[in-house]
Structure 1
């Protein structure tokens, strides 16, 4: 645990009694940001998708949040103190922390928010973020009441959180939007409807004023936000952009200031013709086809799973299909992304494409498929409606057909439909779904493969030895030994093949030159409160 996180203090420099009316009249500053597919929810305790997090982080804050470069910072907390044994976190709330209705943010609101995240009734995909806290795991399993969570309001401005054991990544979790603070009275008054325009009370720099299904989410600056004087943009439009091609056209027409992504077919054009707007960013992210290991034949056929993995040429997929400069994925945790962590690259990664193909054919025969054996399966590949995703699905299906005689069936659906299907493991065979790390630690990827993670374990993968290794890493206080245990766990999971990795994401997007302070970062978060528009 670094000295930086032993004690943090924030100097409060806002002028007392600041109100929006004290500012001189200026023309409204507006930004329009593409967010890809439509969110399923903007409830911070139920959100799961990247675009949901982008909206949430504009409207809500937690004790910690992200700075302009995607690093952890103090937010609603003015100070954080960690006990010498690393198990007790004490936070002092800012004196000027207020909700968008002008009421103070209290320790009681923080306690309520954490209890709501852990409550099984909330159905939060991030409920496991409460597991490091005393009784967190038992609460999410329905064995204890949310009120028993190891968090207490010492006084109106002091929050104390008690962990089961030292957890090095806990501060990283606290900066995630799922650990945002909501107003207890607001949620109790409106229930699930508290996120609707006109009812929402926000704790962050913006508040929702309009939500158009399949259209946009309009946010307005929160005048009661503690750092409102430094927020330069008055109005934010988070625009739903299901089609990358359409989004590209909207940007070229001046209808968007920033895109969610860029069609693969436009990478070269944008790089040559729009160099000031073209923003490639290596993201702490991996894309893969999850294999539904709750269903046959995938559940009982490791050789079949490995054969399909070997026949999918990740180098071709990454560099030729996704785009030049894209990193092929041989591991789940992106390599060279976490200092001290050595990615366990599988032995097969060093084989030539021809050698992998030969090995794949041998495995298919050993599994009893092909001529004289069982008929080859026809896996359905489910992916969200997006031109880039379709290109990858078509390419991998062609590889399997040519090399193994496996005929895949393509199935594209709306992004939020695919996400819900992934949570419920309701897809037939395989599902194309990326994962962006929530904080810079291997465990943010590996937790998705724990057998006790209900929703985000998209493959339904279960291996007690994997769980044991991750548990051991949680109690290991030596950083190098902890990372070594996580590498062992990842190596084990990679041998079990619950997924077919394709690439580590290099996000290619367009950002208008007039948008200032857009700082590329591995977490791919760009809170609007730090952005500005050149006049």
Structure 2
């Protein structure tokens, strides 16, 4: 999902708290949902939104701002259970395989797109071919890589136009996809894939209507899905409006008639609007409200918290963009210089868990302490490791963050910790909003370090590793490249025994400690607040709003 395939826009911080401020008390609520008693059918709600990075094409949306909208308007083969994240068939009637390499997908009949056309097998095959084809430059095209023929759909040139001349892709379609009839298609993967069916609930695998091919650009501004809500309008920087799709035939529709994503540049503003009943749900409680668990007083019986499949990290710019951080010893030194425990206590009121690796504890296959000593604060060891690398030659270190979410406090605290341990100046650097921030990262114009986060797309250890650190992967923002890591990821995917697959993934994760392409910071707890007008507020395993359970009182 979040992408879910998602780069996370949402880890909060407080703007005015320094690292050495007095520690705050409080703790984490164990309530994960509000009561649905008294909920009625109909009506519209408003929820906190943010600026999508790209037009709303499912295969080109890899961040939460656009992904949250797509989750409401699309239906996929698989739906993830709101409580556990476990996959459940949605449009798929059956997904069958005897060898984890050849899959037959049978669709349920009667599913319709919002334009009234029926969802058929070709709508999946055409959508996946579009995502995979290199010249289309889809950021989630990487998710089609396991399917046979993916390599031939990729451009092989270099420079500004890798698709020019001899670099042109050899094929426009994946040989591993075949339509058998209106409601059946087959998937053949290059190698065995142990979790193929689990992946198919991610937004990149959503079907596209026949009308998409006529004008993909127009679709991105007004997407047409097959989910319980249809897209109505998008007023840039202000709001995105959705309404109930009358012909939705799935079982995840819920009671609401409409949803408006109100786009905020500031999380405190959204939070204050919830208190004043001017906004119905926020999936962000700012750290200013975390101090002494103030949000519980501000929103009595109107808050919930849940551990979710989200991790916060700090990523280093690619070496060719900024060579000052190229030495893994420098990266390891920076990681050891970060006092995670103190930052979590003082800024997040202990509502985060210090990360000891790159995989969230909520998924099967998680192994603790994969980062080892490099994720343990030790100023003396950090300074010694930096000296071993010959010191930092780049002057001051920078840590960039998007200014439309309250990341200022924790990034400043992180820089203070780094400066105190290493004796190197570190500056937290704001970028105006998430869309601009992600664009700079994706175009490899961002130097130094930058905040990064990952919300699982599907509940698998693989999803925290392959999309982020495999060579050429869609969300490999630091352009990490380790052939041994890639080999282990491929070997893990080929396993038919889940335990053996997890063991291989764990071996791959362990390699990241030696290279430190990104610094694990903490595992997240999603904290929600809501108005007095709504009930049935449920936090999914992905840290998103479950619209199927939400209703007006």
Tell me the TM-score normalised to structure 2 length: 0.84
2:333 is aligned to 307
Paired positions, count:
497
Deviates more, 1:243-252 or 1:68-77: 68-77
Change beyond 3 A, Cα 1:291–1:29: same
Distance across 1 between alignment mates of 2:236 and 2:394: 42
Distance across 2 between alignment mates of 1:360 and 1:250: 43
SS state at 1:148 partner: coil
Deviation, 1:422, is: 2.2
Counterpart check, 1:366 vs 2:388: yes
Change beyond 3 A, Cα 1:223–1:46: same
Residue in structure 2 matching 1:456, options 475, 478, 481: 475
Distance across 2 between alignment mates of 1:249 and 1:403: 37
Deviation, 1:299, is: 5.1
SS state at 1:80 partner: strand
1:17 is aligned to none
Deviation, 1:47, is: 0.5
1:218 is aligned to 241
Deviates more, 1:442-451 or 1:222-231: 222-231
SS state at 2:520 partner: strand
1:76 is aligned to 91
CA contact (8 A) 1:45 1:179 kept: yes
1:491 is aligned to 510
Deviation, 1:50, is: 1.4
2:192 is aligned to 166
Structure 1 segments (4+ residues) deviating >6 Å: none
SS state at 2:273 partner: helix
| Deviation string, structure 1 residues 4-48 (Cα, Å, up to 9, x no partner) | xxxxxxxxxxxxxxxxxxxxxx99510111024444332111111
| Deviation string, structure 1 residues 171-191 (Cα, Å, up to 9, x no partner) | 22210112111102x112223
CA contact (8 A) 2:264 2:404 kept: no
Change beyond 3 A, Cα 1:140–1:299: farther
Distance across 1 between alignment mates of 2:546 and 2:207: 17
SS state at 1:220 partner: strand
Residue in structure 2 matching 1:191, options 213, 216, 239: 216
Counterpart check, 1:281 vs 2:295: no
Residue in structure 2 matching 1:150, options 154, 176, 179: 176
RMSD, matched Cα? 2.3
2:355 is aligned to 329
1:114 is aligned to 128
Change beyond 3 A, Cα 1:361–1:80: same
Residue in structure 2 matching 1:290, options 315, 333, 349: 315
2:454 is aligned to 435
Distance across 2 between alignment mates of 1:326 and 1:202: 35
Residue in structure 2 matching 1:270, options 291, 295, 299: 295
Please list, as runs of the form range in 1=range in 2, the aligned pairs for 1:327-476 lying within 5 A after superposition. Answer: 327-335=353-361, 337-348=362-373, 353=377, 356-369=378-391, 375=393, 377-386=395-404, 388-413=406-431, 414-476=433-495
What residue ranges of structure 1 are gaps of 5+ in the alignment? 1-25
2:284 is aligned to 261
CA contact (8 A) 1:36 1:260 kept: no
SS state at 1:383 partner: strand
Counterpart check, 1:232 vs 2:255: yes
| Deviation string, structure 1 residues 428-478 (Cα, Å, up to 9, x no partner) | 111101111111111111113445324410111111111111111111222
Residue in structure 2 matching 1:125, options 139, 145, 157: 139
Deviation, 1:376, is: 5.8
Distance across 2 between alignment mates of 1:164 and 1:297: 36
Distance across 1 between alignment mates of 2:62 and 2:253: 29
Change beyond 3 A, Cα 1:490–1:349: same
Change beyond 3 A, Cα 1:111–1:124: same
Deviation, 1:166, is: 2.8
**Is the helix fraction higher in 1 or 2?**
1
Change beyond 3 A, Cα 1:152–1:531: farther
Distance across 1 between alignment mates of 2:459 and 2:523: 15
Counterpart check, 1:320 vs 2:343: no
Deviation, 1:390, is: 0.6
Deviation, 1:97, is: 0.9
Distance across 1 between alignment mates of 2:528 and 2:252: 29
Distance across 2 between alignment mates of 1:471 and 1:490: 13
Distance across 1 between alignment mates of 2:486 and 2:52: 34
Distance across 2 between alignment mates of 1:428 and 1:169: 35
